[in-house]
Structure 1
């Protein structure tokens, strides 16, 4: 998607936006009342953060353990396999041949990389190149070729046959066509192309695919349009396709795509990633899309998205700001009924969670590694970790341009978790580079890192023991040194290299929960008993290791870890939060 939104900042304002200090108050006081019994809280899908990957790229991701181990960490937390949409621009260039003998190793070598502008022909060994190389229970959505009409859509139907044979029960859904709202303008169909013209083609393919497996219930995700909800062309949105006739029990999901900034042309900036009001304004346009899907008993997803289109932009997509943005994006979307958000990834794109291979581009050599977006996804998996259904809502008076907050409840109206995100800009020269990405300008804020004291009035009983964990990094613009309360992944293979450390706090006598939060940081607070009740990829023992640092209890998940060696950043964050809360600067 290549639409440039009206709020995109011109290049001349970039440095100003990066150096400004946002006006987050030095103290924030909010109250969380128990919701009324008839309050309409939205449930959280365990696959709220999901993934979109080009069909030809998954074998290349399978060359390393990076994505597999990230998936394992996420799936262990949410007790469900990851959802992966295999789709994108190349879906409409793909066909399948049962007699294609290219080896699995050849697919993993990036064999089709040079053919990205042409047709991509897959064979049986394509599926062998990645199958069983990811975390258990990974589920797939496959996007079929709608552009190629040759021999009554043979490309789509033959590919579906291969997918059904080799993915089997791992397949959740088919999509038909990628960003079909662009077909008319790009010359793939008549300029007057609309959803009513697409319907007979879509239905023909769907009918033929169902005939391939008469004993299997095959489901579809309809939509997949490029233009965002605020710039719909013709009737290419969810109300439009439903009105045209795309509604039946075989369509349980509808989707649209969204890239808040266009990296295909024009200037892009880091600033919109750190503005909650900008994000909420964008996503609020999708409320009618959600309503349309729900009106026919279906669910709505953002089927392809990320920070900046056209594989992202170094210095924006590969920063800690993108990780904070992902958390706010997923949670705010959930509050308005967006069930899943599929973050698009390519093997070398700066908006990817991991880079699976060493590569060269523009005379530079780069290595495989982990990007900050992974830690945003992991933080969300901690939010989703619970034994029963969780419901989410924004905290009233806990949201502004530079911060946002959410309360998480169970179905019996018990408060289970609190999330607070400080989106205030703070830039640092620490962690300014990442060997997986090209270097970009290094800059630092010219002031001390501000801190905010947050007091939350809760219905929790005084004295209860709470876990507090932080999504943290040196600065908004940092590309490395990002972690979730010391939880980190190996740059080599994505395995866990450092266990998560919970800060233990207690509910005060009046029910208040008090914590300090640095600029560009997020916290998750929940009962520590809930942490112990859930599986965790780094919890190797039945008891956690305890340590007291400056009077604060720190509890490491994984009893064999040396606590003292892993607390430097967390302790520093705590101390800094206290010392800096009085010196907040205002714009």
Structure 2
């Protein structure tokens, strides 16, 4: 016990002895050595597992308010994507009056087969923000998919795109009909091109397909390879390219900033390939750990910080939108909210949205090689409006909690305000009574309404610079104007 205590104390002292990390805030977009990425009006959204979509909308009280909280910040409803594994188990049934029809042995299970009807599309059409709808390709019944797509186009006025299949690299393992012969990345690319043309022409819509949708790592399953096979006929139907991503790992590994930056760099070539043909690149389905999350990782404050950092690293790397997956209601460790409890990751998502809200560009001010991160958001005139600082040093609740000083230079005001994203440790969980807060406030269980008294910190600017102290496992949003 004594030896462990000494190690913890020495580690804490070492962490505290690190001098202030300094970041120069660019006075305008395009200045300095930073890379500036344009921001979508609502870069952070949610992906709702196909069969659970009606339940999230009609039976989960928090859904509308949690989305409204982001809209209140940005002025734009966040994007949603309806899809996932069960989209390729679902067949359209024009005769059913139900949203979805399926049976499961236990309420926490996902169905192996299901049908859905026109009412499903009508419900999707009630959402005020953009909608990406995932439809079945794996069953190889293109006429059924076209029938569903025609109803989607008619009923969903904010339909942004249609996905044709979810994670096709797993279809051999799942014994899906379309993969009964030779099936690999090359045959999938040919299949996607064929279906994109046939579905797009049948619904008489160009710029309508969200292509890609793999989870396996690029380049074998990736946008660059798909784009290389597309001619002008196919390309006209593609709106953007998507990839899925579940980094996984322990809390400490997941929330470490350099690890997150490295994970996002894996998509650079695909992002560049999409950009070269004038298309956006999105993370169409993503979250911490695949399969609904890991109980010891996904519901924690450390995962909330990962959610924040991951979102900002992605957007600053020219990934236009990030759709965080919400799985089976009542059986989802990484979900942002549920019927009875808020999820810790929602706090990190909210902080990320708060940085980007109304901004036109974002830039990462750090190299992505240390535990310390800084992001700046810029308004329509190109001026910096907010900076988010992140100390990803790991603190699990025992021993001395280290702190790190962050200095911002290039500031023009006499003082700045800030909101702190904090909790007692990386292991804190909302569903276990954890003390998570953003600017002193929290989100109420069941309703997702904001509770508590707002706590604004003020820091004096001297000589164009200000210094802030962040504890290990903490973030700070600094308002420059």
TM-score range, shorter chain: 0.7 to 0.9
CA-atom RMSD in angstroms: 2.9
In the alignment, does 2:444 pair up with 1:455?
no
In the alignment, does 2:42 pair up with 1:57?
no
Structure-2 residue corresponding to 1:139: 130
1:38 and 1:260, CA in 2 relative to 1: closer, same or farther beyond 3 A?
closer
CA distance in 1, matches of 2:386, 2:77: 23
CA distance in 2, matches of 1:343, 1:326: 9
CA distance in 1, matches of 2:65, 2:104: 21
Matching residue within 146, 166, 174 for 2:162: 174
For the Cα contact (< 8 Å) 1:311–1:349, is it kept in 2? yes
Matching residue within 36, 40, 59 for 1:41: 36
1:28 and 1:192, CA in 2 relative to 1: closer, same or farther beyond 3 A?
farther
Structure-2 residue corresponding to 1:467: 417
In the alignment, does 2:18 pair up with 1:30?
no
User: What is the deviation of 1:173?
Assistant: 0.4
CA distance in 1, matches of 2:101, 2:111: 17
Over residues 45-73 of structure 1, what are the superposed CA-to-partner deviations in whole Å (9 max), with x where a residue is unaligned?
A: 23322211111112111212201101000
User: What is the deviation of 1:201?
Assistant: 3.9
CA distance in 2, matches of 1:129, 1:175: 18
User: What is the deviation of 1:327?
Assistant: 1.2
For the Cα contact (< 8 Å) 1:50–1:82, is it kept in 2? yes
In the alignment, does 2:237 pair up with 1:250?
yes
CA distance in 2, matches of 1:498, 1:33: 32
Residues 392-471 of structure 1: matches in 2 within 5 Å?
392-395=363-366, 400-410=369-379, 412-428=381-397, 445=398, 447-458=399-410, 460-463=411-414, 465-471=415-421
For the Cα contact (< 8 Å) 2:299–2:334, is it kept in 1? yes
1:130 and 1:48, CA in 2 relative to 1: closer, same or farther beyond 3 A?
closer
Residues 526-565 of structure 1: matches in 2 within 5 Å?
526-528=479-481
CA distance in 2, matches of 1:33, 1:471: 21
Q: Aligned to 2:20, what secondary structure does the other structure show?
A: strand
Residues 184-223 of structure 1: matches in 2 within 5 Å?
184-188=172-176, 189-190=179-180, 192-199=182-189, 201-214=191-204, 217=206, 219-223=208-212
Matching residue within 320, 326, 350 for 1:345: 326
- What TM-score, normalized to structure 1? 0.72
Q: Aligned to 1:278, what secondary structure does the other structure show?
A: helix
Q: Aligned to 2:238, what secondary structure does the other structure show?
A: coil
Over residues 77-103 of structure 1, what are the superposed CA-to-partner deviations in whole Å (9 max), with x where a residue is unaligned?
A: 11211111111111111111221023x
Over residues 333-369 of structure 1, what are the superposed CA-to-partner deviations in whole Å (9 max), with x where a residue is unaligned?
A: 222222222111112311010012xxxxxxxxxxx11
User: What is the deviation of 1:199?
Assistant: 4.7
Q: Aligned to 2:395, what secondary structure does the other structure show?
A: coil
Q: Aligned to 1:522, what secondary structure does the other structure show?
A: strand
Structure-1 residue corresponding to 2:350: 378
1:31 and 1:161, CA in 2 relative to 1: closer, same or farther beyond 3 A?
closer
Structure-2 residue corresponding to 1:313: 294
User: What is the deviation of 1:181?
Assistant: 2.1
- What TM-score, normalized to structure 2? 0.87
Give the paired residue count.
459
User: What is the deviation of 1:309?
Assistant: 0.7
For the Cα contact (< 8 Å) 1:185–1:191, is it kept in 2? no
User: What is the deviation of 1:394?
Assistant: 2.4
For the Cα contact (< 8 Å) 1:97–1:158, is it kept in 2? no
1:54 and 1:498, CA in 2 relative to 1: closer, same or farther beyond 3 A?
same
For the Cα contact (< 8 Å) 1:221–1:252, is it kept in 2? yes
User: What is the deviation of 1:30?
Assistant: 0.8
Structure-1 residue corresponding to 2:3: none
Matching residue within 266, 278, 288 for 1:285: 266
CA distance in 2, matches of 1:394, 1:294: 22
Over residues 232-256 of structure 1, what are the superposed CA-to-partner deviations in whole Å (9 max), with x where a residue is unaligned?
A: 44xx211111112165132131111
User: What is the deviation of 1:319?
Assistant: 0.2
CA distance in 1, matches of 2:304, 2:80: 19
For the Cα contact (< 8 Å) 2:104–2:110, is it kept in 1? no
CA distance in 1, matches of 2:279, 2:173: 29
Matching residue within 113, 116, 127 for 1:119: 113
User: What is the deviation of 1:33?
Assistant: 5.5
CA distance in 1, matches of 2:382, 2:189: 43
Q: Aligned to 1:339, what secondary structure does the other structure show?
A: coil
1:87 and 1:69, CA in 2 relative to 1: closer, same or farther beyond 3 A?
same
In the alignment, does 2:478 pair up with 1:525?
yes
Over residues 471-527 of structure 1, what are the superposed CA-to-partner deviations in whole Å (9 max), with x where a residue is unaligned?
A: 11111000022121122222021122235332233322x111122111111011123
Residues 61-140 of structure 1: matches in 2 within 5 Å?
61-62=56-57, 63-102=59-98, 116-127=110-121, 132=126, 137-140=128-131
For the Cα contact (< 8 Å) 2:302–2:473, is it kept in 1? yes
CA distance in 2, matches of 1:483, 1:192: 52
Over residues 404-443 of structure 1, what are the superposed CA-to-partner deviations in whole Å (9 max), with x where a residue is unaligned?
A: 1122334655332221101111123xxxxxxxxxxxxxxx
Q: After TM superposition, which residue ranges in structure 1, 4 or more long, deviate above 6 angstroms?
A: 106-112
Structure-2 residue corresponding to 1:259: 246
User: What is the deviation of 1:121?
Assistant: 0.5
- Structure 1 regions of 5+ residues with no counterpart? 1-15, 262-267, 357-367, 429-444, 529-587
CA distance in 2, matches of 1:376, 1:512: 26
CA distance in 2, matches of 1:500, 1:159: 47
For the Cα contact (< 8 Å) 1:44–1:389, is it kept in 2? yes
CA distance in 2, matches of 1:201, 1:413: 43
